[in-house]
Structure formats: C-alpha cells, structure tokens
A and B are shown apart, each in its own frame.
Chain A
Amino acid sequence: MSATHQPSPVAKLEQKTVRDLILKGKRIDDRGPLDYRPLTIMLGTVEKANGSAQVYLGKTKILAGVKVQVGTPFPDTPNEGILTVNAEFVPLAYPTFEAGPPDENSIELARVVDRGIRESKAIDLAKMCIDPGKKVLVIFVDVYVLDHDGNLIDAAGMAALGALISAKMQAFEVKGGEIKYKDTKIPLPMQNYPVPITSVKLDGSIIVDPCLEEEQVMSCRLTVTTDKDGNVCAMQKGGLGVFTPEEIKQIISSSVNKSRELREKILSKVN
C-alpha cells in the first residue's frame, strides 16, 4: 500500500531558511528561480556495458547503463524489440535508502523515464526484431542513483538518454530466424531525444531543478518531458500539494524551452 511518507529529516531551521529565501525570490544555492544547476555528462564510463552515461547535476550523481540481450517479444508486439527501464536507489546514495525490492519512489522514477523514452519513440524498436513472435533484442536501461541531492528524475532521464546515445551493439543480420553477428559495432537505432524538466511549487513560487533541501519542503512537483520537436511526450505530477491550471501551463512552456538547451548539451557529447 502506498502510504504518506515520514517527514524529512531536515531540521526545522533549515526548512525555514529555504522558505524565507524563496519568499525573497532567492534560493539556498544562490540560483534564480528558473536556473538549472551545472550539468556535467560523461558518456561511456563503463566499458562492459553497451552504453553508459554518468550525470552530475549539482551534487546529484547518477550512472545509467544499457545492456542489449536477446529475449522473447511481448505477444501484442511480436515484431518489436523490448525496452525496460529499472531504477536502483543504491544505499550508498542517501542515509535512508535501503537495499531490497524497489519502493514506490524508484518505481515511479523508472516509469517516468521509461514513458519519456517510449512515448517519444526514441528507439526504433521495429529494427530490434530477429524472429517475429519468437526472438527480439531487449534493451535494458538500468539507472543507478549514486548521490541524492534532489531532482533525481531529470538526472536519471538525461543519464538514460546519454547511455542510449552512446550505446554500441554488435552489428547483426538475420538468416532464417537465426541471428548472425558481424565484427562491426553499430549505434542503437535512435530517432528521438526526450529530456525531462522538473519544476516544483514552494510557498507559491515555481522553481526549476529543485535541490534536496527544496524538494523536502516543496508542496508538489511537475515533470514535463519534451522531445526534439518540442512536443510534450510525458508528464508526471508528484507530492501532496496542488497546482492551479495556470501554474501548469506556465511550467509546460518554461520546460519546453529549457529542455531544448539541455538536449543540445547532451547531443554535443556524441560525434
């Protein structure tokens, strides 16, 4: 059962500091309301994975790895490869992260990232079919949260995108339902580049890319994932607060603009 979370361990005084600053139009780390933290993205940091990307978003650190393996297709999509996204909140990332089966937060994060990639048709899954109804390629995207300083969804979405862009798989040809590997390596059939942007409402103000302290006192958050053409392909509201329709429209517009800038930054990493 999904239950109300325990209150955050942030001291009351610190919560007050965050709130007081927001009321003055300032933020705890000196950013403006619509400023993103510095983003660093490194591709191919794990050689044994088909693709990998390490993202630093301020002090948040996320590593995503892509593995491509042969599997059986879903009955309703016999001619398409499979995409699965999973997220691990590794215990070393935060004092209250515990090992064990994924909780609702990591499931939500993985599903929001999955929705962005799937709905924007980022990967041409039709090109990942070996033997219709029997054998297809399965793309596993595993997101590893290594250090939690807020806004995990955006960092995870960009790490997953980076890992997919950087991924190389063995070139193959299909002969009579059998897969024959060649010596060359080819990139995944990418055709879109979704980027999630998360904004939160905090004491009536809207700020983008919340750090951990801001997340812990926020009223609610809204993630808007935009594709390369500026179309929105996924959204998710979270948290116990509420938005007005006007706030939502404002966030949609600002997210569409912000994602353009970040997408260019990620794509500039691949040649």
Chain B
Amino acid sequence: MDGRRLDELRPIKLEVGILDKADGSAYIEHGRNKILAAVFGPREAHPKHIALADRAVVKCRYHMAPFSTDERKSPAPSRRELELSKVIRESLEPSIMSEYFPRSTIDIIIEVLQADAGTRCAGITAASLALADAGIPLRELVAACAAGKIDGKVVLDLSDIEDKKGDADLPVAYMPKSNAIGLLQMDGSMTEEELKQALDMAINACKTIYDMQRDALRRKYHIERDESETEEVTEVKA
C-alpha cells in the first residue's frame, strides 16, 4: 500500500544505549513506530517475597504514551497493555540466562512514543537490545515482526492504515539460532495454508531484523567480528 513489496519490511532504525540512568536501553523506529526500551537490573528483588531462589524474576511493562495514537489514550494501563506486558515478558524470558541471578529482579520497560501498528514486535526488538546493552547474559537476541493478510494476500509488516483494513495479523517473536518462537498471536481470519505461509514470512523477516540488531550492537561497542555468537558479545561487555 505504501509502495512496498508484499514481503518487504518498513524501514527500521535501531540505536543502543541512549538513556543515561538505565542499565541498558535501546530506541527503535520501525516505520512510524517510535519506541524506547529500558532495562534495570539484575537488582535486589523488591518487595523481597517476590524473589525466587533459583533464578531472577523478570518484570515487564509495556505502555503507550497518551499522545502516541490518533485519539488520546488514557495513561492508565488498559487490558490490552496488561496482556501485552505478559506475552512480551514470555517472549523475552526464554532468551535471558536468569538462573545466573537468583533472588534478583530484571525490569524491562517499554514505552511506545508513537504507535503505527506492530508496536509489540518493535517493542520486543528494542527490549532485547536493551537487555544486551545492560550486559545481561542472553542465549540469543530476540527479533520480532508481524505478518498479516490484506485483500486476500499474505503480506509482511502491516502499517497502521493497512492493519485497520487488513483481514488478519500474526505477530511473531523469533530466535534464529535456536529456531525458537517465543511469541505468537493471531487475530483475523486465515486458512491453514495462509497461516503457515505468513508464519514463514514473519520468521524470515525476524532473521533480517536479527542482523540489524547485531549491527546496532556492533556500532555501539565497535566490536568487529563476523559470525560471532551474541552471548560472546554480551559477555565482552559484562
């Protein structure tokens, strides 16, 4: 609709380590989405009773700014934001080596400054970079992207206008090296075949975004290596 091919991503810009006080941070522009992610921790669990003896507690907050949408959004967390906080946490937690930090918490804060469809995916992409920037050992970076259906055609990465006219939306978070899907949601209507095609399309896009994430980390930390493991990168910093 905006001149892209059916399987073409919107332009993505990633920046790592842009907030001073957070332990790790990242900024993403994905199409017209503008999203900040910050990570605090590992730090002492508060209140103490939420602590786990064998691993860190991971906390996540996804929130949209009141001015991020066409109509003003109430700053109070909506049911949608509460659900997304949960599924985003569940997509990032498998990547975190939380067993290294018993009795502590890792806080992930995602703030959507401007929303243009696909905010949960862009938020995950940014938050994973923020985790790496905080020096938290990761199994792998998590990249996320949505595919969907519009006018009966399976397409990648719907923008806001397309999403409102679209027939289906399929957000996916993926870790390429371990071939692991940590987030999968879908709404709309798709046949089994379309769904499988959309899933493959989203996974391919995640692989592209994953490479962009690694480039963003390299730009920040000036580490020149070609096929290095992500956890090595994070360990160098930690």
- Asked if A104 and B178 sit within 8 Å, CB to CB, the answer is no
- CB nearest to A7 among chain B residues: B52
**B181 proximity list for chain A (CB < 8 A):** 237, 242-245, 248
Interface of A is mostly: mixed
9 contacts between A and B (CB under 8 A): A3-B60, A4-B55, A4-B57, A4-B89, A4-B93, A222-B184, A237-B90, A241-B94, A242-B181
- Asked if A238 and B58 sit within 8 Å, CB to CB, the answer is no
- Asked if B83 and A108 sit within 8 Å, CB to CB, the answer is yes
Report the minimum CB–CB distance from A106 to chain B (whole Å): 10
- Asked if A235 and B184 sit within 8 Å, CB to CB, the answer is yes
- Asked if A230 and B178 sit within 8 Å, CB to CB, the answer is no
Mark the stretch among A8-16, A174-182, A249-257 that contacts chain B: A249-257
Contact string against B for A residues 205-240, beta-carbon threshold 8 Å, 1 for contact and 0 otherwise = 000000000000000101000010011111111111
- CB nearest to A222 among chain B residues: B184
CA distance A157 to B203 in the complex (A): 29
Contact among B50, B183, B189 with A237 in the assembled complex (CB-CB below 8 Å): B183
- Asked if A242 and B180 sit within 8 Å, CB to CB, the answer is yes
- Asked if B83 and A107 sit within 8 Å, CB to CB, the answer is yes
- Asked if B190 and A243 sit within 8 Å, CB to CB, the answer is no
- Asked if A2 and B86 sit within 8 Å, CB to CB, the answer is yes
- Asked if A2 and B59 sit within 8 Å, CB to CB, the answer is yes
- Verify if B87 is at the interface (C-beta below 8 Å from A): yes
- Asked if A111 and B199 sit within 8 Å, CB to CB, the answer is no
Contact among A4, A238, A249 with B87 in the assembled complex (CB-CB below 8 Å): A238
CA distance A220 to B195 in the complex (A): 20
CA distance A232 to B187 in the complex (A): 8
**B200 proximity list for chain A (CB < 8 A):** 245
Contact among A3, A104, A248 with B83 in the assembled complex (CB-CB below 8 Å): A104
By a beta-carbon cutoff of 8 Å, the part of chain A in contact with chain B is 1-4, 6-7, 102, 104, 107-108, 110-111, 115, 118-120, 220, 222, 227, 230-245, 248-249, 252-253, 256
Contact among A102, A108, A240, A248 with B184 in the assembled complex (CB-CB below 8 Å): A248
Report the minimum CB–CB distance from A117 to chain B (whole Å): 11
**A3 proximity list for chain B (CB < 8 A):** 50, 57-60, 89, 105
- Verify if B182 is at the interface (C-beta below 8 Å from A): yes
- Verify if B228 is at the interface (C-beta below 8 Å from A): no
**B191 proximity list for chain A (CB < 8 A):** 230-232
By a beta-carbon cutoff of 8 Å, the part of chain B in contact with chain A is 50, 52, 55-61, 79-80, 82-83, 85-90, 93-94, 98, 105, 107, 170, 175, 178-192, 195-196, 199-200, 203
- Asked if B79 and A2 sit within 8 Å, CB to CB, the answer is no
Given contacts A220-B90, A245-B181, A249-B199, 9 further A-B contacts (CB under 8 A): A3-B57, A104-B86, A235-B185, A242-B180, A243-B181, A245-B200, A252-B192, A252-B196, A253-B192
**B88 proximity list for chain A (CB < 8 A):** 2
CA distance A233 to B169 in the complex (A): 10
Contact among B50, B86, B186 with A108 in the assembled complex (CB-CB below 8 Å): B86
Nearest 10 CB-CB pairings of A with B: A242-B180, A235-B186, A2-B85, A237-B184, A2-B86, A1-B59, A3-B59, A104-B86, A4-B57, A1-B61
CA distance A118 to B169 in the complex (A): 14
- Asked if B192 and A232 sit within 8 Å, CB to CB, the answer is yes
CA distance A101 to B38 in the complex (A): 28
**A236 proximity list for chain B (CB < 8 A):** 87, 184-186
- Asked if A242 and B192 sit within 8 Å, CB to CB, the answer is no
CA distance A242 to B184 in the complex (A): 10
**A227 proximity list for chain B (CB < 8 A):** 189
- CB nearest to B93 among chain A residues: A240
**A220 proximity list for chain B (CB < 8 A):** 90
**A118 proximity list for chain B (CB < 8 A):** 187
- Asked if B83 and A111 sit within 8 Å, CB to CB, the answer is yes
CA distance A233 to B149 in the complex (A): 12
Report the minimum CB–CB distance from B155 to chain A (whole Å): 17
CA distance A2 to B196 in the complex (A): 30
